[in-house]
């Protein structure tokens, strides 16, 4: 492979899904050169197209989530509830390398689009399945977004909160995007297996599996029969403290007796330093609520800039200000490390967020505009050998 050839150039991918977790795995393949064709319903298309316009989302003049997550694809609107629509899909399946679906399992059975239904059409195809709760079990047919399947069912919703506070909902897409990476990893692993065996296969992951993986340090403790009563509800070294300017400081990297004593000296909390009640780390943990209250009173006396200058610059303590999205946007580490990059054509946004997978020598195509609904329907059908009269007839019948 020459330096100017993209890793997945020539790889044909069908994105037969909606919203984020399944389709974004296909986006990751498209970023590395795959030809990704998105299959959408003729009337409404992928519901995710309208997410950024909903009343509870940040408002902008550009469809920012669609531009990010649907980039570098073509769109074919296709009614899979018609014989003609299904015939077109089956022809596409026969010529594809990867088939990505997060359609509900019950719908797949209804449409005869399970792996067992279609694998004979293309034995070399990688069939990538994304579900909320897994392929088996009493809840396997249930539909759910990541707020339920990833965030709640894994235990994260209940345990990512201080005592006495109600459970906090995750941000949109918080479970979908890492789950897409897992599905991408499954697809790439299967492609390597196909390279060695010549055979396709089914790969799958779920929102629940990825939520469980995210919560695994504590969930594995539960499975191991660990005693959770010894777990502090608010770890002393993990606390955040409000400052005079309404910002917060994170002290999670201030660990151990020596570092904590250096902190007390820096903030001139000599009364705490000399109090036998807090003489050891274990003693500090026993009285953690009282100690935290005293520290909060101190940190409220100065601005976050003052504290950072004192603690980071003068005393070399690992203290961070809790970051806002505006500050994330302006973080110089993002473009320097290719976490964001400029689109290669005008998409209405200066920078697009990249997926977190980086392989030296594997190039990405750069973000191009996300497709309009059915934008490439006629183009794709012409490539498949359909004539103009046939395409007009398909449109008139609502098949495309």
pLDDT at res. 236: 46
Look at residues 103, 97, 139, 100 and name the one whose alpha carbon lies nearest to residue 121.
97
183 in the same domain as 265: no
Q: Given pLDDT bands bounded at 50, 70 and 90, which one contains residue 1? A: low
Report CA-CA distances (Å) from 236 to 161, 197, 309, 355. Answer: 15, 54, 22, 34
- Quickly state the pLDDT bin for 281 (edges 50, 70, 90): confident
Together in a domain, 186 and 46 = yes
User: 279 near 257, Cβ under 8 Å?
Assistant: no
Local confidence band at 280 (pLDDT 50, 70, 90 cut-offs): confident
- Phi and psi of 11, rounded to 5°? -75, 125
Which whole number is the average pLDDT over 120-145? 96
Query: Which of 267, 296, 325 marks a domain boundary?
Result: 325
Do residues 148 and 257 share a domain? no
What's this model's pTM, rounded to 2 decimal places? 0.92
Can you give the pLDDT at residue 2?
59
CA atoms within 13 A on the CB side of 93: 25
Structure tokens at 274: 């000399």
Phi and psi torsions of 28, nearest 5°: -60, -35
Our count of domains for the chain comes to 2
CA distances from 271 to 181, 242, 267, 276 (A): 50, 21, 11, 10
Show the domain range for 259.
236-325
Q: Which residue's structure tokens are 């100690």?
A: 291
* DSSP class of 369: P
- CATH at residue 258: 3.30.1540.10
173 and 144 share one domain: yes
**34 half-sphere exposure, CB direction, 13 A CA radius:** 26
pLDDT digits (tens, 9 = 90+) for 185-223: 999 999 999 999 999 999 999 999 999 999 999 999 999
* Residue 3: per-residue pLDDT: 64
Q: Are residues 194 and 262 in the same domain?
A: no
Contact 14, 93 (CB under 8 A): yes
Residue 317 gets the label, from left (phi > 0), alpha (psi -120 to 50) or beta, of beta
Is the same domain home to 53 and 183?
yes
Tokens (6 digits) for 118:
């279609």
Predicted local distance difference test score (pLDDT) of residue 235: 47
Instruction: Note the pLDDT of residue 87.
Output: 97
Confidence tier at 279 by pLDDT (50, 70, 90): confident
Do 155 and 268 reside in the same domain of the chain? no
For 301-358, how does the pLDDT look when each residue is reduced to its tens digit (9 = 90+)? 999 999 999 999 999 998 999 999 999 999 999 999 999 999 999 999 999 999 999 9
Averaged pLDDT of the chain:
93
pLDDT value at 234 more than 50:
no
- What pLDDT band is residue 286 in, cutting at 50, 70 and 90? confident
Provide, rounded to the nearest whole percent, the portion of the chain with pLDDT above 70.
97
Q: Annotated active-site positions, please? A: 176
- CA–CA dist 209, 129 (Å, integer): 13
Cα–Cα distance measured from residue 246 to residue 255, given in angstroms and rounded to the nearest whole number:
25
The answer as to whether 119 is a domain residue is yes
- At 237, the pLDDT band (50, 70, 90 cuts) reads very low
pLDDT tens per residue across span 36-84: 999 999 989 999 999 999 999 999 999 999 999 999 999 999 999 999 9
Give the CATH number for residue 213. 3.40.50.10540
Task: Report if residue 290 sits inside a domain.
Answer: yes
Q: What is the dihedral of CA 270, 271, 274, 278, to 10 degrees?
A: -110
Taking Cα atoms as reference points, which of 171, 80, 116 lies closest to residue 399? 80
- pLDDT at site 238: 55
Residue 350 lies in a domain: no
């Amino acid at each position: 492979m020459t330096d100017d050839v993209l890793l997945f150039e020539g790889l044909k991918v069908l994105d037969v899904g909606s919203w984020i977790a399944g389709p974004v795995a296909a986006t990751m393949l498209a970023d590395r050169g795959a030809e990704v064709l998105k299959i959408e319903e003729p009337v409404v298309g992928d519901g995710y197209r309208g997410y950024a316009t909903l009343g509870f989302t940040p408002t902008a003049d550009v469809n920012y989530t669609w531009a990010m997550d649907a980039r570098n694809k073509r769109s074919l609107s296709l009614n899979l509830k018609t014989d003609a629509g299904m015939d077109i899909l089956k022809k596409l399946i026969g010529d594809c390398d990867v088939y990505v679906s997060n359609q509900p399992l019950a719908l797949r059975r209804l449409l005869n689009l399970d792996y067992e239904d279609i694998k004979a059409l293309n034995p070399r195809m990688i069939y990538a399945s994304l579900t909320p709760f897994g392929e088996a079990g009493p809840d396997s047919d249930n539909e759910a977004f990541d707020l339920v399947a990833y965030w709640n069912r894994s235990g994260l919703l209940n345990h990512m909160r201080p005592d006495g506070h109600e459970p906090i909902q995750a941000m949109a897409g918080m479970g979908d995007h890492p789950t897409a990476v897992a599905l991408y990893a499954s697809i790439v692993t299967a492609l390597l297996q196909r390279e060695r065996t010549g055979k396709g296969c089914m790969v799958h992951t779920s929102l629940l599996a990825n939520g469980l993986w995210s919560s695994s340090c504590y969930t594995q403790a539960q499975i191991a029969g660990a005693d959770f009563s010894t777990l502090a509800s608010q770890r002393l070294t993990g606390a955040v403290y409000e400052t005079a300017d309404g910002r917060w400081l994170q002290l999670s990297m201030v660990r151990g007796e020596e570092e904590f004593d250096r902190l007390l000296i820096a903030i001139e909390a000599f009364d705490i330093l000399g109090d036998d009640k807090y003489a050891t780390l274990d003693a500090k943990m026993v009285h953690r609520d009282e100690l935290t209250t005293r520290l909060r009173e101190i940190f409220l006396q100065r601005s976050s800039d003052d504290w950072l200058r004192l603690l980071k610059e003068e005393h070399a303590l690992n203290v961070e200000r809790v970051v806002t999205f505006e500050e994330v946007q302006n973080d110089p580490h993002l473009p320097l490390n290719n976490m964001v990059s400029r689109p290669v054509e005008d998409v209405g946004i200066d920078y697009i967020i990249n997926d977190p997978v980086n392989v030296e020598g594997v190039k990405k195509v750069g973000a191009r505009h996300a497709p309009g609904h059915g934008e490439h329907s006629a183009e794709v059908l012409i490539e498949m050998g359909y004539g103009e009269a046939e395409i007009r007839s398909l449109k008139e019948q609502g098949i495309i």
